[in-house]
Structure 1
Amino acid sequence: MFTLVSGAYKYFTRLDEYNVLMLGLDGAGKTALLEKIKHIYTGIPGMPMDKLQPTIGVNIGKVTMKSALVKFMDLGGQKDLRGIWEAYFSDCHAVLFVLDSKHADRLEEAKKVLIELVQAKELEGVPLMVLSNKQDLDDVESLAQIKEMINELADYMYGREVRVMGSSGADGAGVRLAVDWLYNRMVENRIQRPPMASEI
């Protein structure tokens, strides 16, 4: 009897779980964005910006959205760490690609990395959000310039859902809109990429 009740409890209390990969070059601000996401959706203050360290490996944050658990996986963006990204492709439901709009000299490198990502077979059909981060700073590439760069990659996108937005990991501008968009796209794409089951 206990087993039956326990099984029923687990069934009715489980949540759909979606995995979002946070990718981009080192220094783009992925970790700061993750801290801001956790703060926005949990109310718990994130780690102060001056205490953040570059991600070596993976940094995970979980938030509950509506009837789902969304797990954000911030992967190290240093060149010698990008080889581990592929290990997470098959279990992801969306990609949040972060661009550093303050350092125009690295945008070409980021563009090449993004092309490799969207060509990966295991990421076929996965929604993609490109965030032009650090828009709160002076002398950054404008969102219009970033959108123009991404538009040049249209032939690589293969009809996937793509959106480009501006953001700031420092003040949170654009973060909720970006995450809400990703959540809705993941739910709409659940036939192609079914969510996992997570117990509360």
Structure 2
Amino acid sequence: MIGLHGSGITTVLHNLQLGEVLTLTPTVGFDVEVVEYDKFSFLSWYIGTPSKMMPLWRHYYPEAVGIIFVIDSNDPKGLVESRSRLKELLKCDELAGHPLLVLANKQDLPQAASVEKVTDILQLRHLDRLWFVQPTCAIKPFGIQEGLDWLLNHVPK
């Protein structure tokens, strides 16, 4: 699970683990969480996106079977930066062919980009892999379970 700082990754994780939103502070460094979902248990590594943390991302790729990329769909500048980060991420050989789930978070906000706009900005139609954009609101929560269901149906069993 990767995304820009402030995209809502920690909120998504807390909703999956606890079923509620806690008062959150930004993640500094990295966070490792075991998440139980449906009949599956998976390890989620959230690695912060400040530039000094990005070189650490690679160390977690060999164990990955899918990618969850969380975006703040209400932040136009962040969407452009997310496109850049996603392009870097998808160049890694260790992630070749892995299905990509984009959680378009913060859909409850009035200026949130639609799934179509997110798809266009992130240039997903050009990818040579399975991908899916799921609109979500991590604080409500809605959309998270549907996104995970899609991902679990597309990762190796």
Distance 1:80 1:119 in 2: 19
Q: Name the structure 1 match of 2:143.
A: 174
Give distance in 1, aligned partners of 2:79 and 2:47: 18
**Which one-letter code corresponds to 1:35 in the other structure?**
H
TM-score (norm 2): 0.90
SS in 1 for 2:71: strand
**Residues 65-85 of structure 1: CA distance to partner in whole angstroms, max 9, x if unpaired?**
455322222221222211211
Residue from 35, 45, 55 that aligns with 1:73: 45
Using the TM superposition, give the Cα deviation of residue 89 of structure 1 relative to its aligned residue in structure 2, in angstroms.
Answer: 0.4
**1:53 matches 2:25:** yes
Structure 1 residue 105 and structure 2 residue 74: aligned?
no
Q: Which amino acid aligns with 1:167?
A: T
Distance 1:131 1:65, change over 3 A: closer
Equivalent pair of 1:55/1:76 in contact (CA under 8 Å): yes
Q: Which residue of 2 aligns with 1:4?
A: none
Q: State the partner residue of 2:120.
A: 148
Higher relative contact order (CA 8 A, sep 6+): 1
Greater Rg by CA: 1
The number of aligned residues is 157
Instruction: Show the counterpart of 2:2.
Output: 23
Q: TM-score, normalised by structure 1?
A: 0.72
Asked whether the equivalents of residues 115 and 153 of structure 1 are also in contact (C-alpha less than 8 Å), the reply is: no
More helix by share: 1
Note the C-alpha offset of 1:24. 1.0
Change (3 A) 1:183 1:104: same
CA distance in 2, matches of 1:139, 1:149: 15
Secondary structure at 2:141's aligned position in 1? coil
Q: Which residue of 2 aligns with 1:6?
A: none
Q: Secondary structure at the match of 2:61?
A: helix
